[in-house]
Structure 1
Amino acid sequence: MEIYVGTPPTKQMMFLDTGSSMSWIQCLPCEHCFKQNELIFNSNRSSSYQVLRCDSTECLKLGHKRDCTQSNEKCKYRLSYDDKSGSSGELAMETYTVGDTSIPNMAHGCGHKNSGEFSEQSTGMIGLADEPLSFFGQTRYLTGGKFSYCLISQFGSNQNARSRISFGKNAVVSGPGVISTPFTKKKDSPFYFLTLESISVGNIIIPFRESIIPFLRRPGNIIIDSGTTINYFPSEVLQNLKTALIRVIGKTPISFADELCYKINTDIPNITFHFASNANITLSKMNTFTVYGYALCLDMKQDDSISIFGNRSQMNFLVGYDIPRKEVSFKSTDCSRYI
């Protein structure tokens, strides 16, 4: 997401994550930074940069992410993510500029030690979780608790298109074909959880509630996450899905370890995700398979501790979050043409 930070504003390209509870960028001096295309932010050159104290209200909101103890010292933070990436540095107030809107006094992280498999295009992370220190949490008074995004596919009709994000009244997903499902929040978790009831391939239904995995029996059994690329399912569900695909496709898969792969010209059936409130999201092979050389491979992995609906399955949908109504909406859209 393109954002301008500081005074004067300097361009940042921040990794958009609905599962992050705060925002941060890489800052000088770098004790450890990943490589980025943009110049690394120099807080000494921004007149709106103000480091917060360890006993400030904003710093206390960090909770276990707070990395300071003395009331008169700088507020320090330490973040770690499930993929072993992370950031640590100081929490500061700064001005963000998004489009034509300038937002002063945004609490954000100035990261001096950052690690992970970040793209060189990225300069940090922007948090869209419904949390007090996230970008979204701090701008709820401007947005009314609504945002939406449309993620382009690599197979889109316009190769120069960019994915789009909208906030406030421009973020409402409406019109014919809109499908909505409730989300839930869980204590001590920044994520948005949906309830997946089943998955179907052709006329084969794979239940998602009747599994032996305990967390699948409760509402809110799968995370919708813009910051995770692929889908993750318990081994039982994933194996049942693979078996159903093999039966419906009717061809012998290519042998690739535990991967389910076919020759590149194979017809791949749609996979439908049946969420609560009769929200049936039908995904094409673009959302579920990836090209690896001469093969098409199912892009879903096993995880017996948590399930995730990742961003590849959200491509070419206008995805809207309405926090006051506690629902997520989907509308099938060619995101490369979406304005």
Structure 2
Amino acid sequence: MVGLQFFVVLVLQSLVVFSRHTFGFAETKSNGVSIKLIPIDSRESPLYKPNLTRRQKIERMVNVTLAKAKLRNLRSTQNSTFDDDKHLFALDRQDKFYLAQMLIGNPIQYVYVVVDTGGPLTWTQCAPCTECFHQIYPIYDRRHSSTYRRLSCNHRLCNHDEEGSLFQCVNGRCVYTHTYGTGGEIMGPTKGYASLESFHFLVNTNGDTEQFTILFGCSNDNVNFEFADDEDNKISGIMGLDLHPNSLASQLSNVFSYCIVPYDDDFPFDVHAHILRFGADVYFPPYPIPTTQYVSVAGTNSYYLRLLDISVGRSRLNFPRGTFEPSSSGVFIDSGTPFTTLTTRAANRINVFERVNRAFWRYYDSRNLVRYPTEPDDSFHVCYMIPQNFRDYPSMTFHFRGADYEVDGRFVNIRFDDEGHFCVAIMPEETDSILGAYYMQNMRIIHNGGIGAVQFFQAQCAGDHF
């Protein structure tokens, strides 16, 4: 069994075009900036592979969901030595979906980085290298840029002595070490220097640019990255967009938004760009919109939310209080995870994944649909044959504190039309539950750091453009 393809940020892989104006340095927020994210399966993408079948695309979305789950489980059992490194989400050029083409330095040098809402730091390979992995484009060379600056330990941005800092002080230099994981295997580490550099952003189709100074990682020691084995590898680093104060999102603005174009045939995913908007470029409708506050969880900068209950169609499942306790079996929103996952071991020992599945079985069985056979180790457990002209798909609602997030029935399931069946697009997870990108289709998601909350409303995302 298998699953499909996700969006960004986010959790993200695409070509990036920044538009708009007035940039400063980290503490001087952008008035507004937008990033055009071109999906990996677009013909415009540098990673476009025209011969992948729909099932192959679905399978790799499942693989990245599984890889991130295994990494979270690895973190939960790691020893103190492992914990000394900073751990980000898996990096795999075959599994991530959006890349950003960054223009950095003076004169400008080009690099491709994976965009990730789960990452705290933007970094790229940086020459001269102690050891760098293979990439087909030239490695960014700090020696050729007049605007590059390496941070010393006493620089105010090198907060190495503060709790939660990304940096350490070694021989008077502000340095970092990040380790990655995928499929339960360790990747990396990447090591380098905390640095400042000019980042350039296109502001019109004539190629005109604005620039501002960004804190980023100049990585000159990078080993054990699997994607580097690809002779056509274009990835040189990562763009971090989580809640950490050093992330690009925090440096640009405390507000950003995105809108995921539907994956189905009515809105071909591979022809619509996605736009990541910051600051004044974020659209707020002229009416109140659902809002739910972030929940702080020690040791993570992920976007945790307080979930109270779940409904399938009009049936509320009435989970007991404490089922989704953020500190133990919480829920966070992550566009970098393709499919929504539900915990099989909540703090109160409830198998949330199974209980939700039972609700879907009851719904579809009552409408006399024929079950499609699955195995215990399949990615999706609730699958049915597709009846002719059937449209009675139930919605799924996440009842967050202060706001109900309703997934339209059109987007609750994933269809395998060539095989004649569909499946409820939810995967099991032993620890936290995740609201993934597939359940964000046609939903405008706003991360509003100004009020410490996620806001959202339904929208026609295919119409989102510069």
Shorter-chain TM-score range: 0.7 to 0.9
1:96 aligns with 2:199: yes
Contact 1:151 1:335 in 2 (8 A): yes
1:69 aligns with 2:180: no
In the other structure, the counterpart of 1:241 is: 356
Rounded Cα–Cα distance in structure 1 between residues aligned with 2:398 and 2:136: 38
Runs of at least 5 residues in structure 2 that lack an aligned partner in the other structure = 1-15, 17-99, 204-208, 345-350
Q: CA 1:217 to 1:160, structure 2 compared with 1: closer, same or farther past 3 Å?
A: closer
2:261 aligned residue (145, 149, 152): 152
Contact 1:199 1:274 in 2 (8 A): yes
For 2:414, give the aligned amino acid: F
In the other structure, the counterpart of 2:401 is: 276
Contact 1:261 1:297 in 2 (8 A): yes
1:327 aligned residue (430, 453, 456): 453
SS at match of 1:125: strand
Q: CA 1:146 to 1:99, structure 2 compared with 1: closer, same or farther past 3 Å?
A: farther
1:129 aligns with 2:238: no
SS at match of 2:360: helix
Q: CA 1:37 to 1:10, structure 2 compared with 1: closer, same or farther past 3 Å?
A: same
1:109 aligns with 2:217: yes
In the other structure, the counterpart of 1:43 is: 142
Rounded Cα–Cα distance in structure 1 between residues aligned with 2:103 and 2:112: 9
Q: Please say which of residues 24-33 and 44-53 is displaced more in the overlay.
A: 24-33
SS at match of 1:58: coil
For 1:240, give the aligned amino acid: R
Q: Report runs of 4+ in structure 1 exceeding 4 Å deviation.
A: 35-39, 61-64, 81-86, 116-122, 217-220, 290-293
CA positional deviation for 1:303: 2.6
**Count of matched residue pairs:** 330
CA positional deviation for 1:218: 7.2
In the other structure, the counterpart of 2:109 is: 10
2:280 aligned residue (169, 175, 178): 169
Contact 1:287 1:315 in 2 (8 A): no
For 2:245, give the aligned amino acid: P
Contact 2:167 2:194 in 1 (8 A): no
For 2:291, give the aligned amino acid: S
1:60 aligned residue (159, 169, 172): 159
Percent same amino acid among aligned pairs? 22
Cα deviations across residues 247-301 of structure 1 (Å, max 9, x unaligned)? 1122323223343153563554322222221323224453553649725344333
CA positional deviation for 1:148: 0.7
CA positional deviation for 1:54: 4.0
Aligned pairs for 1:177-196 (under 5 A) are 178-196=289-307
With normalisation by structure 2, the TM-score equals 0.62
Q: CA 1:121 to 1:157, structure 2 compared with 1: closer, same or farther past 3 Å?
A: farther
Rounded Cα–Cα distance in structure 2 between residues aligned with 1:113 and 1:290: 40
Rounded Cα–Cα distance in structure 1 between residues aligned with 2:385 and 2:139: 41
Q: CA 1:303 to 1:183, structure 2 compared with 1: closer, same or farther past 3 Å?
A: same
Rounded Cα–Cα distance in structure 2 between residues aligned with 1:248 and 1:183: 32
Rounded Cα–Cα distance in structure 1 between residues aligned with 2:287 and 2:279: 20
Q: CA 1:174 to 1:165, structure 2 compared with 1: closer, same or farther past 3 Å?
A: same
Contact 1:173 1:329 in 2 (8 A): no
Q: CA 1:303 to 1:217, structure 2 compared with 1: closer, same or farther past 3 Å?
A: same
CA positional deviation for 1:231: 2.0
Cα deviations across residues 53-97 of structure 1 (Å, max 9, x unaligned)? 3443333348564355322xx432112356455533222111112
1:257 aligns with 2:366: no
With normalisation by structure 1, the TM-score equals 0.82
Q: CA 1:147 to 1:260, structure 2 compared with 1: closer, same or farther past 3 Å?
A: same
For 2:251, give the aligned amino acid: Q
Rounded Cα–Cα distance in structure 2 between residues aligned with 1:109 and 1:305: 31
SS at match of 1:325: coil
SS at match of 1:286: helix
CA positional deviation for 1:113: 1.0
Q: CA 1:270 to 1:165, structure 2 compared with 1: closer, same or farther past 3 Å?
A: same
In the other structure, the counterpart of 2:314 is: 203
Contact 1:208 1:216 in 2 (8 A): no
SS at match of 1:136: helix
SS at match of 2:411: helix
Q: CA 1:116 to 1:324, structure 2 compared with 1: closer, same or farther past 3 Å?
A: farther
Rounded Cα–Cα distance in structure 2 between residues aligned with 1:217 and 1:53: 37
Rounded Cα–Cα distance in structure 2 between residues aligned with 1:154 and 1:121: 25
1:230 aligns with 2:351: no
In the other structure, the counterpart of 2:463 is: 337
For 1:42, give the aligned amino acid: D
Rounded Cα–Cα distance in structure 1 between residues aligned with 2:210 and 2:107: 12
Runs of at least 5 residues in structure 1 that lack an aligned partner in the other structure = none
CA positional deviation for 1:183: 1.8
SS at match of 1:148: strand
C-alpha RMSD of matched pairs (Å): 3.3
